[in-house]
């Protein structure tokens, strides 16, 4: 009998998750620099998001993506998670501005869709220099923002 099948998978704590993503402990000197270096220099857009804002990513993954993934295909769960994240950003913007804002939701929808498509076609630019990878990642975020601004309500 294979006992590995019956061992419950241990969930990482926030501190363990951040350590794994940033390479340094939560709140350690250099954590922000590591996050920027790793995310901007990622060799795919999916990897970019694995390194970007690990604290927020931990909670999105734990409380939105993981539960959705139980009932939906991972790609759909991921896109919904991005949309939920965008809606949360929009809600904060609405509270701060005191007026209706609907920018982040479509922006994050586009970025989440890009992650799924990039993963599906195995779009990988890791062979390029850090600078070129950073330009590609920033460029994709920027292009998605421009499209979201065009449809902003």
Secondary structure, 3-state, the chain: CCHHHHCCCCCCCHHHHHHHHHCCCCCCCCHHHHHHHHHHCCCCHHHHHHHCCHHHHHHHHHHHHHHHHCCCCHHHHHHHHHHHHHHHHHHHHHHHHCCCCCCHHHHHHHHHHHHHHHHHCCCCCCCCCHHHHHHHHHHHHHHHHHHHHHHCC
Q: Which residue has the higher pLDDT, 129 or 100?
A: 129
Q: Is residue 91 part of a domain?
A: yes
Q: Is residue 3 part of a domain?
A: no
pLDDT digits (tens, 9 = 90+) for 5-51: 444 466 889 999 999 988 888 889 989 999 999 999 999 999 999 99
pLDDT digits (tens, 9 = 90+) for 49-108: 999 999 999 999 999 999 999 999 999 999 999 999 999 999 999 999 888 888 999 999
pLDDT digits (tens, 9 = 90+) for 96-118: 988 888 899 999 999 999 999 99
Domain ranges, residue 96:
11-151
Q: Is residue 4 part of a domain?
A: no
Q: Is residue 2 part of a domain?
A: no
What is the Cα–Cα distance from 33 to 52, expressed in whole angstroms? 11
How many structural domains compose the chain?
Answer: 1
In this prediction, residue 151 has a pLDDT band, given cuts at 50, 70 and 90, of: confident
Predicted local distance difference test score (pLDDT) of residue 153? 53
Q: What is the pTM of this model?
A: 0.87
Q: Is residue 137 part of a domain?
A: yes
Alpha-carbon distance values, 58 to 62, 88, 90, 99 (Å): 6, 15, 20, 30
Q: Is residue 120 part of a domain?
A: yes
Q: Is residue 69 part of a domain?
A: yes
């Amino acid at each position: 009998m294979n006992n590995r099948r019956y061992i419950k998978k241990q969930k990482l704590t926030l501190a363990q998750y951040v350590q794994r993503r940033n390479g340094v402990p939560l709140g350690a000197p250099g954590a922000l620099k590591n996050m920027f270096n790793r995310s901007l220099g990622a060799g795919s857009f999916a990897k970019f998001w694995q390194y970007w804002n690990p604290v927020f990513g931990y909670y999105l993954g734990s409380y939105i993506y993981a539960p959705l993934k139980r009932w939906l295909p991972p790609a759909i769960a991921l896109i919904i998670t991005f949309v939920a994240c965008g809606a949360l950003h929009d809600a904060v913007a609405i509270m701060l501005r005191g007026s209706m804002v609907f920018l982040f939701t479509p922006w994050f929808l586009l970025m989440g869709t890009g992650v799924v498509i990039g993963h599906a076609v195995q779009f990988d630019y890791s062979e390029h220099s850090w600078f070129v990878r950073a330009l590609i990642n920033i460029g994709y975020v920027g292009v998605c923002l421009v499209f979201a601004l065009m449809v902003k309500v």
